[in-house]
Amino acid sequence: MDTFNLLMDGFASALTPMNLLFAFAGVMLGTAVGVLPGIGPAMAVALLLPVTYGMETSSALIMFAGIYYGGMYGGSTTSILLNTPGESATVITAIEGHKMAKAGRAAQALATAAIGSFIAGTIGTALLVTIAPFVVKFAVSIGDPSYFAIMVLALITVTAVLGSSKIRGFASLGLGLAIGLVGADPVTAQDRLTFGIPTLVDGLDIVVVAVAIFAIGEALWIAAHLRTTPAKTIPVGTPWMGKEDWKRSWKPWLRGTAFGFPFGALPAGGAEVPTFLSYVTEKKLSKHPEEFGHGAIEGVAGPEAANNASAAGTLTPMLALGLPTNATAAVMLAFLMMKGIQPGPLLFENEPELVWALIASLFIGNTLLLLINLPLAPMWAKLLKIPRPFLYAGILFFATLGAFSVNMQAMDLWMLLLIGLLGFALRRFGLPVLPLILGVIICPMAEVRLRKTFQLSNGDISGLWSEPLAVGIYILIAVLLSLPLWIALFRRLRGKPAVSEDAIAIDHIEVPSDEAGAGSNQPTNTSGLKGSDKK
């Protein structure tokens, strides 16, 4: 099979001793940074981008794959041991995982998360291998109107479907699109929103924007509200699982994978919905439903697998269409573009060896992660105790270093500060970050497609829906936007069906669980840990 041979070539180029070393370094760095409190996977990846600047492309790719999986696993570790979801996708993991940890089963929680992530990541990447060529073939056949419609769909779903406040979501999207407009217009080369500043003509560097929003904005926000007594962590030995744990975990892993991948692969991606669906399903199917809410292992195994499978799924539109649908994929796209690689259907044709080396690297990174992280978990757990002033000073320091080393321009640092302040404001005023970051990246791509669409239709607006696929997508968008209305109608007609209850609960789950988390952090900490805090 053609794909298989290409993948084997990918393995061959990724499996040199030097590249294995890079993969190892990537996994270590990614986990170390991802495990730090306050750093989600997207921020971990953004902060570590500069490490790959001077590298040869294929080595950078394999290192990046390691960082990617390492950062994600690091985030889960933090959720379990500290009850601190680094991003919304690990909120569910934190619910049951932290309860397990408090009940003295941290080792099992970490083990089921690690093994589940490995299985889901491997199956997910295998599915990526199978599906990507079809998506590419399909992507080559569709025209600009459909492309534009898909981008609109991606923006609408992250803005209107996933967030809790639609108005704030659209405000965030608007800001992102505005940032994406900065620079020379792609067709007429006139300056837009540059205010006469020459360095802005090329547009804002996406790495600078990502680092500013994720790292600077977050660090400033935390600095403004820094807890005087940081949350206590739970000490942990080497993760392991008993026979009973395996028995209870393997089905949730597979079901979680089944939920996660499709949601990630659709341009309407996001890991929140599949992790939540997986949690609800496991709760329903479990023989121990009474344990849910008190540390049920299925509640960690399923959502963790769903999260990782969705991350692998996200790579399908990212690589095959050039369309990122979550924050980490957005940073990954920025990384690829920085390396002069333009993801999209043509990438598979023009540079197959790069694509397949990257995909092979994902398999390798995922495997290394499991091998390294199980024995090293106690060491990672120690990182959770790093004094907060050093941690956040370090984030600011490395964010500055990363943004500066792109172009060595002080101007980039002013942009970093300015957009960092914007990131602070987003967090202060409850605006979601994701619509902004996707807006920045997708805005220029979508504009080019839109203008080509109108070029083809000679300015006739019906050009927008001149392809059947585009029509279908606009109908889907209309359905999604009117979903709350449908649910309300449905409930009124049929009483209170369980399905709509769940669908509604997705919108609200983050709020109560977050509050519960923050509230239970302080008083319920296990005692007797304080002595080991300071040496």
Does position 386 bind another protein by CB under 8 A? no
Q: Residue 415, Cβ neighbours under 10 Å: how many?
A: 21
3-class SS at 225? coil
CA distance 320 to 338: 18
The footprint of another protein on this chain (CB under 8 A) covers a number of residues equal to 81
One of 15, 55, 480, 487 touching another protein (CB under 8 A)? 55
Helices 388-407, 410-428: axis angle to 10 degrees equals 130
Does position 84 bind another protein by CB under 8 A? yes
* Spatial CB neighbours of 175, under 8 Å, sequence gap ≥ 6: 422, 431, 436, 439
End-to-end CA distance of the chain: 59
One of 133, 143, 230, 235 touching another protein (CB under 8 A)? 230
Nearer residue to another protein within complex by CB, 242 or 512 = 512
Nearer residue to another protein within complex by CB, 479 or 518 = 518
Nearer residue to another protein within complex by CB, 37 or 66 = 37
Nearer residue to another protein within complex by CB, 417 or 480 = 417
Does position 400 bind another protein by CB under 8 A? yes
Task: Tell me which residue of 25, 118, 14 sits closest to 359, measured CA to CA.
Answer: 14
Scanning residues 505 to 534, which ones bind another protein (CB under 8 A)? 511, 514-515, 517-518, 521
Task: Tell me which residue of 279, 326, 323, 325 sits closest to 299, measured CA to CA.
Answer: 279
Q: Output the smallest distance, CB 421 to another protein, in A.
A: 8
Helices 352-383, 17-35: axis angle to 10 degrees equals 40
Nearer residue to another protein within complex by CB, 71 or 517 = 517
User: Quick one: which H or E segment has residue 183?
Assistant: strand 183-184
Does position 418 bind another protein by CB under 8 A? no
Q: Output the smallest distance, CB 33 to another protein, in A.
A: 14
Scanning residues 420 to 479, which ones bind another protein (CB under 8 A)? 421, 425, 427-431, 443, 446-447, 450-451, 454-455, 458-459
Q: Output the smallest distance, CB 40 to another protein, in A.
A: 10
Q: Output the smallest distance, CB 66 to another protein, in A.
A: 16
Scanning residues 167 to 196, which ones bind another protein (CB under 8 A)? 167-168, 170-171, 173-175, 177-178, 181, 185, 187-188, 190, 192-193
User: Quick one: which H or E segment has residue 184?
Assistant: strand 183-184
One of 259, 279, 392, 465 touching another protein (CB under 8 A)? 392
DSSP state of 191: E
CA distance 10 to 230: 45
Does position 382 bind another protein by CB under 8 A? no
Return the residue matching tokens 């820094």.
Answer: 226
Does position 202 bind another protein by CB under 8 A? no
Q: Residue 293, Cβ neighbours under 10 Å: how many?
A: 12
Does position 414 bind another protein by CB under 8 A? yes
